[in-house]
Structures are given as structure tokens and as C-alpha cells.
Structure 1
Amino acid sequence: MPKVLVLLAQGCEELEAVTVIDLLRRAQIDVVTAGLTTGAVIASRGTVLVPDSTLEAEQDKDFAMVVLPGGLPGARFLEEDPRVQVLLRRQVAAGRFVAAICAAPKVLAAAGLLDGKRATAYPGSVAAADFPRMMLTDAPVVVDGLVVTSRGPGTAMDFALQLIALLMGEASRQTVESQLVRDL
């Protein structure tokens, strides 16, 4: 069973965080949530999230994927934490996935992980002029090699389902999606 780390920073977007955690767990993926510090995380709309662990306790462990929910100021806290940058670069260097949604793709860009990659993000959160080697699109979800990006709260379910497909296969994604009663 793949193991996924979801980083929770103060001010993260709760819809993105909870959707990813919930859907991945429905697919029988081992999800570990970690705060940048100890204690509860107050998300962007005031929802209190209680991480399983801390980044300090998890940063040297191996994960099939590291996921960054967006939201502000959460994405900014992720970007400013040097431990996050090291973790993300190590993930990709080891041939493992990184994923970010909403404003969090900027964290990947700042780590140099979007150079030469197609990516998407919340409108206005990542300036193409600041990261000229990145090819910014307006697609809801973009997979380019080991990097997965998505646009925002409205694409969180599609993002999570894509992560399931990458980690567990298309059949697992379809099983989870069928139980959600999504009418598209």
C-alpha cells in the first residue's frame, strides 16, 4: 500500500486538504498528515485540523507522494520553510511524486521542480514571468512526469482522483469515484 504525506500549514485550504485525505484513504492509501509545527492547524476558513504528526518527525521517511494543499497563508508558509524545499527536491530526486493544488504549485516552482514542466495553479498565484521555464496552463489537473498540479478548491476532487490513479491504478480511481455519486 503506498504511503502519502500531506503537509498541513496554518491557513491551508481545508476543502483541498480534507478532500485529498478522504479520497486517498477511501482508496486504501496510507495517508499521514503532518503539520509544520506541533498542534492543531487552523485552516483558511477557520476549520481546525489535527495532524497525525509533524514535518520534523516525518521529513526523513520515504513516501510514494508528498501533497501540498493550497490556500493562503498556508502555501506561503510551505514555500518559506526550508525543510519543505529539501523534502520536495529529495522526493523527485528519488523518483517519487510531488503534488500541489491552488497556490501551492508556487512552492514547487520555488524549489525548481516546475522548470521545463507543464503546470497549473490558482489564477494569479504563480506568475509565469517569475518562473519563465515553467509552462503554465489553465487545465484543472496537470501531470508532468513526477509532478502533479491542480487549480483550486473546485478541482480538488479531480486532483485527488488523479492521485489515486497514479498510485493505485485506474481501476481503483474508478471504484472510488463510483462511490461518490458524481454526475458529470
Structure 2
Amino acid sequence: MARVLVPLAQGCEELEAVTITDLLTRAGVEVVTAGLDAEPVLASRGLKIIPDTSLDQALDQRFDMIVLPGGLPGADHLNNDPRIHSLLQRLADAGGYTAAICAAPKVLASAGLLDGREATGYPGTLEALGLTQVRLSGEAVVTDGRVITSRGPGTAIDFTLVLIERLVGKETRDKVEAGLVR
């Protein structure tokens, strides 16, 4: 069974965090949400989310993918946490998937995982970084190798369906998507 880590920072975008965890779970993926601290996560619009575990407890576990929800200041908290950068780099080096949506692709950029790749994010977020080694795209979801990025809350379903297809195949993606009655 595929395992995915979804780190949750204070101020994350709840629509993205919930969509990612919900749809991956519907696909039979084991999802572990991990808070950066020991507190319930207060998301950007006031929703309280209780993570499954703390990031410290998840550090030595095996994951096939790490998915970063965006939102502000959540993405900034992720970006300022060296444990996140270390986890991302370690998983990328091991051939796993790294994914981020909204403002969170800047965390992948800071970890050096977007160099030489095509990526997207919330409008203006990646552009503000002055990235010269990243090909910026306006597409809703961009997959470049084992790095997957997306633009924002409105693209969360499409983003997660791509994650499902990468992890467990097109047939499962199609089943999950059919159940959404889009």
C-alpha cells in the first residue's frame, strides 16, 4: 500500500489539506498527517485540524510521497522548517514523489527540488522568488518527473487525482473521480 505524508502547518489552506487527504484515502492510500508542532492546526480560514501525529514522530517512517498543502502563513511555516527540507530531499534522493500546491511549491524550490524543472504555483508566488532555473507554467497541474505542483484551492481535486494516478494507477484514479460526480 502506498504511504503519503501530508505535513500540516499552522495557517495551511484547509481546502487543499482536506481534499488531498480525503481523495488519497478514497484511493486506498495510507495518508499520515503530521503537525509541525504538538497543537491542533488552525488553518487559514479558521478550521481546526487534528493531525495524526507530529512531524518528529514521522521523520523516520517510510513514505512514497510527501504532499505539501499551501496557504499562508502555512507555506511559510513549512519553508522555515529544516525538517521539511530534509524530508523532501531524502525522499527525492530515494526516488519518491514530492508534491506541492498553491504557495507550497516555494518550499520545493527552497529545497532545490525545482531546479531544471517545470512547475506551477499560486500566481506570483514562484515568480517573486526570481527562479532562473525553473520553467514556470500557468497550467493547473504540472508533473515533471517525480515532482508535481499545482496552482491553488480551485485545482486541489485535479491535483490529487494526478497524485492518485501516479501512486496507484489510472484505474483507481478513474474510480475515485467517477465517485465525485464531476
TM-score by length of 2: 0.98
* CA deviation vs aligned residue, 1:86-144 (integer Å, no higher than 9, x gap): 00000100000000000000000000000000000000111266211000100000110
Equivalent residue, structure 1, for 2:51: 51
Identity %: 58
- Residue correspondence of structure 1 range 148-167 to structure 2 within 5 A: 148-167=148-167
- Residue correspondence of structure 1 range 127-166 to structure 2 within 5 A: 127=127, 130-166=130-166
Equivalent residue, structure 1, for 2:173: 173
Task: Quote how far apart the aligned CAs of 1:61 are.
Answer: 1.3
Structure 2 residue 107 is matched with structure 1 residue 104: no
Aligned length: 182
* CA deviation vs aligned residue, 1:47-92 (integer Å, no higher than 9, x gap): 0000000110001211000000000000000000000000000010
Equivalent residue, structure 2, for 1:118: 118
Q: For 1:4, what is the secondary structure of its paired residue?
A: strand
Q: For 1:38, what is the secondary structure of its paired residue?
A: coil
Q: For 2:149, what is the secondary structure of its paired residue?
A: strand
Segments of 5+ residues of structure 2 without an aligned counterpart are: none
Q: For 2:121, what is the secondary structure of its paired residue?
A: coil
Q: For 2:45, what is the secondary structure of its paired residue?
A: coil
User: Aligned partners of 1:131 and 1:113: how far apart in 2?
Assistant: 12
Equivalent residue, structure 2, for 1:77: 77
Equivalent residue, structure 1, for 2:36: 36
Task: Quote how far apart the aligned CAs of 1:2 are.
Answer: 0.3
Equivalent residue, structure 1, for 2:65: 65
Distance 1:128 1:117, change over 3 A: farther
Amino acid in structure 1 at the alignment position of 2:75: A
Q: For 1:154, what is the secondary structure of its paired residue?
A: helix
User: Aligned partners of 2:110 and 2:144: how far apart in 1?
Assistant: 17
Segments of 5+ residues of structure 1 without an aligned counterpart are: none
For the 8 Å contact 1:128–1:136, the answer to whether it is kept is no
Equivalent residue, structure 2, for 1:13: 13
* CA deviation vs aligned residue, 1:17-47 (integer Å, no higher than 9, x gap): 0000000000010000000011200000000
TM-score by length of 1: 0.97
